[in-house]
Chains A and B, each alone.
Chain A
Amino acid sequence: MESWRRNPLVFWVVGLPPTAWLLLFFMVPLALVWVLSFAELRGVVDMEVTGTFANYARALDPLYLQIFGKSFVFAGLTTLVSLIFGFPVALAIVFAPRRWRAVLLLLVILPFWTNLLIRTYALIAVLRTRGFVNFTLEWFWEKADALLALVGLGSLHLLGERFEPLELLYNNTAVVVGLVYVHLPFMVLPLYASLEKLDRSLIEAALDLGASQFRAFATVVVPLALPGIISGAILVFIPALGSFLTPDLLGGTDSQMIANVIERQFKSANDWPFGSALSFLLMYLTFGALALRALYSRRTAGQGRG
């Protein structure tokens, strides 16, 4: 890595466009909203910036902190599940014959070109009481029940009086399933990009040296894919944390996430200052976690691992 002074022309040419964009079309709007978080409501629609911290004080109330916590848990679970299922998929694509790769990638991406709302309603159609999963299970149940009856054990009702459909919807599990469904490609794509440049001779070397398949996988493949894992984790965790449509549509009475609360402030509660304060609190927290990660990676890079 070189200092920017060594090549200032290239530095500015490369750095100026994205920086200017970020400043003008992101920072400035954000600053406007940040200022809002110090405002108070005046009447129905107007707000006056008074420099008050009252909104932040409200945001730090245990009621809201608890919801923050729950949202972190949901997002964390989503990330974990996405990683567990996304890694083999990325692996399969990378090690597949060349001509299959583009097709497989496309197949992974394709569902995500459908509108989120439609996809979620379709997911509901699959998971609900009279949806496909339960229809299929019911079919199996009936066959098993008939089989038992045939064998003469019918009256014992070993499988229960009646088929009880699984309650797959309108609870927290459904929310995690929905979140994974939405965010899976954001895990697969970075993993793919990172695994693709993996030096395969390293794995072969490990195997030649006598490591088992599992050991080679765990000690060579996974660590080398770490940049991809981390990128993927960030790309899943953070949007999952901020999602409100999915918990809204798939969740039960218990599945409120912080983004739902924030959304309500900008809509039905009509309390834009408070909504801004909550959003910024959310951002400070996540920003803090990211900064920690950046510091950690700088330290480990400094230890000569770069």
Chain B
Amino acid sequence: MVESTPRRATRRSFLAGTGAVAAGMTLLPKFGWGAEEKKLNFYNWDTYIGETTLDDFKKASGIEVKMDLFADNDELFAKLKEGNPGYDLIVPTNDYTERMIAANMLIPLDHSKIPNIKNIGKAFLNPAFDPGRKYSLPYMWGTVGIGYRKSRVDGVPDSWKWLYDSSKYAGRIALLASPGTVLQVGCKYKGWPLNEKDPAKLEQVAEMLIKQKPHIKVFAEDNGQDLLLSGEVDLTMEWNGDILQVMAEDKDISYVVPKEGGLLWEDTLAIPTGAPHPDNAHAFINYILDAKVGASIADFIQYATPNSAAKALMSAEYTGNPAIFPSDEVIERCETAIYQGPEYTQLVDRLWTKIGAA
């Protein structure tokens, strides 16, 4: 497939000073107004789009979408850090969106090209990580909680204690292999804010985890739900959508957000700097935000949509599912992660290394 993309405008050398970087960021070649070729390079999570969305978009607009996959936010970030290799639309999670905004890696969105913004629920229009939705728009949202096997667990394990601080289910539990998330949720368990920055308090959470380590079977990369399904573990910390997918295959599995609260996340649509087809990207975002399209995507991937117009079209089974749409009371207890700068990231990594080595 021969594709000629306009020369990438920005080549950021990691040796350059910040000033030059910021100046270089804003250059974008344009071959006349709106004369982009009809292509779009979409960089997305796996199985995170509707079954026919890309084909339907092509039929509606003539633009062909090529979708590449990445496995986690770190990969996305590392790939784009040294310069955009040609992607037009990406799907970072809220704290990474924040980080990318801080690093001038995203271009501001032209809301006039996205009339379907009106479909988005009020609650999502002005988040702390992107006030006024200048750089991103919400795609899907959800929680991190505990997936468990009903028949092997006493009652409903609605506390993080069973994962963080108890030997009751020793050898039968799994946590996420995500340093930030595990430490943040640990803070919630201790009754502190999710985004607690105090190194002393974080050390305490690390100590707790070191004590708990012999009881933890594994830190699951992204397959906690598979471990649950295969019987390898009986309780796992996981994203709600993943657990939902295995709940469909095994009625013995269920999901709960513990009483101390969990993590609330939001995946966003954003356009990286240096995108060769920003207009097409805007058009695609607008297409996704359409009510019917949004509904069909949500129906296929079974995550919570922030699109109120789409939600109104969904079945009661979907909207009434507490694993997809937690009650307001549950949402109250949860918090969103914020990006806290390189020192925090370094601290988290050092503590994680310490936990692993202990």
- A touches B (Cβ under 8 A): yes
The chain A residues found within 8 Å of chain B, CB to CB, are 35-36, 39, 41-49, 63-64, 66-67, 70, 128-130, 167, 169-170, 248-249, 251-254, 256, 260-261, 264-272, 274
Interface status of B121 (Cβ within 8 A of chain A)? no
B356 within 8 A of A: yes
Does B151 touch A at the CB level, under 8 Å?
Answer: no
Give the complex CA separation of A79 and B105 in angstroms. Answer: 44
Q: Would B357 and A253 count as touching, CB distance under 8 A?
A: no
* A271 with B218, Cβ < 8 A, contacts A63-B354, A130-B230 known: no
Contact A269 B217 (CB under 8 A): no
Complex: how many Å from CA A267 to CA B74? Answer: 5
Contact A128 B356 (CB under 8 A): no
- B15 pairs with A49, CB closer than 8 A: yes
A66 and B81 contact, Cβ closer than 8 Å, known pairs A47-B14, A268-B74: no
For residue B231, CB closer than 8 A to chain A, the reply is: yes
Question: Is A269 within 8 A of B18, CB to CB?
Answer: no
**For A45, what are the chain B residues with a Cβ–Cβ distance below 8 Å?**
12, 14, 21, 81, 103, 105
With A42-B18, A268-B179 as contacts: A253 and B81 at CB distance below 8 Å: no
**Most B C-beta atoms less than 10 A away, residue of A35, A45, A249:** A45
> Could you write out 28 A-B pairs with CB less than 8 Å apart?
A35-B15, A44-B342, A45-B103, A46-B14, A47-B15, A48-B17, A49-B15, A63-B357, A66-B357, A67-B356, A129-B230, A130-B232, A251-B218, A253-B216, A254-B213, A254-B356, A261-B353, A264-B349, A264-B353, A265-B349, A267-B72, A267-B77, A267-B78, A268-B179, A268-B345, A269-B179, A271-B349, A272-B14
Per DSSP, chain A at the interface is mixed
Query: Across the interface, which residues of B come within 8 angstroms of A266, CB to CB?
Result: 78
Alpha-carbon separation in the docked complex, A42 to B72 (Å): 24
- Chain B residue numbers with a CB within 8 Å of A267 are 72, 74-75, 77-78
7 new A-B pairs (CB below 8 Å) besides A43-B342, A45-B81, A270-B345? Answer: A63-B350, A129-B230, A129-B232, A170-B232, A261-B353, A270-B77, A271-B346
Q: Hey, what's the 0/1 contact readout for B1-30 against A, CB within 8 Å counting as 1?
A: 000000000001011111001000000000
Chain A residue numbers with a CB within 8 Å of B99 are 44
CB distance from A288 to the nearest CB of B (A): 23
B356 touches A253 (CB 8 A): yes
Annotate B196-219 by CB proximity to A: 1 below 8 A, 0 otherwise. Answer: 000000000000000001001111
Are B180 and A268 in contact, with the CB atoms below 8 A? yes
Contact A128 B18 (CB under 8 A): no
How distant is the Cα of A64 from the Cα of B357 in the complex, in angstroms?
9
Contact residues, B321-335 vs A (CB, 8 A): none
**B353 in contact with A271 (CB, 8 Å):** no
> In the complex the two chains form, what is the Cα distance from A181 to B356 in whole Å?
24
Q: Are A264 and B232 neighbours in the complex by a CB distance under 8 Å? A: no
CB pair A269 B230 closer than 8 Å = no
